[in-house]
């Protein structure tokens, strides 16, 4: 019952006072100077700060995929695969394999075995301009 008394004690004058407070314009916000870099002018090198910015991304994990080849088969043939089945790929023996980082081709290389583990020796690095050119096609 006490809650109803409190709610009933709010009068039209209280609401009018609250509305009037809202109607008073607040002080205009001051513009933040130099909040964003001006891209119209080259930024001056900042020395150690630039290195710290670069350090932020060094520990971000990326997925590296080495692609030996590709093929397309029907679901019927896929379901018939068993232990020992051979799937023919479109790549020729001895062709360099594609190295993709997060799905983007960055290099080509050849398979190597080191201490009973497979690896890839990079033989050709795709330049940024070549990557952009491949995006256009």
Residue 3 has pLDDT above 60, yes or no: no
Are the C-beta atoms of residues 105 and 131 closer than 8 Å to each other?
A: yes
Strand-by-strand arrangement of the 97-101 sheet: 64-67, 97-101, 104-114, 117-125
pLDDT of 19: 67
- Determine the structural domain holding residue 106 and report its residue range: 62-82+91-137
In this structure, is residue 11 part of a structural domain?
no
22-67 residue pLDDT tens:
665 555 556 666 666 666 666 556 555 556 777 888 889 999 999 8
- The answer to whether 12 and 20 are in contact (CB under 8 A) is no
pTM of the model: 0.52
pLDDT of residue 85: 93
Query: What is the pLDDT, as a whole number, of residue 104?
Result: 87
C-alpha span between 91 and 72 (Å, rounded): 13
Residue 53 within a domain: no
Is residue 112 in some structural domain? Answer: yes
Question: 85-118, pLDDT tens digit by residue?
Answer: 999 988 888 888 999 999 888 999 998 888 888 8
CA-closest candidate to residue 66, choices 101, 99, 106: 99
Residue 75: which CATH number? Answer: 2.30.330.10
Number of domains in the chain: 1
pLDDT, position 1: 47
């Amino acid at each position: 019952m006490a809650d109803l008394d409190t709610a009933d004690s709010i009068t039209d004058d209280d609401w009018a006072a609250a509305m009037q407070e809202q109607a008073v314009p607040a002080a205009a916000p001051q513009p933040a100077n130099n909040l964003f870099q001006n891209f119209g002018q080259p930024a001056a090198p900042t020395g150690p700060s630039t290195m710290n910015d670069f350090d932020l991304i060094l520990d971000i994990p990326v997925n590296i995929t080495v692609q030996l080849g590709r093929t397309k088969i029907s679901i019927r043939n896929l379901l018939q695969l068993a232990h020992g089945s051979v799937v023919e790929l479109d790549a020729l023996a001895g062709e360099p394999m594609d190295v993709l980082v997060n799905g983007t081709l960055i290099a080509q290389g050849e398979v190597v075995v080191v201490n009973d583990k497979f690896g890839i020796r990079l033989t050709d690095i795709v330049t940024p301009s070549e990557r952009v050119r491949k995006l256009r096609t």
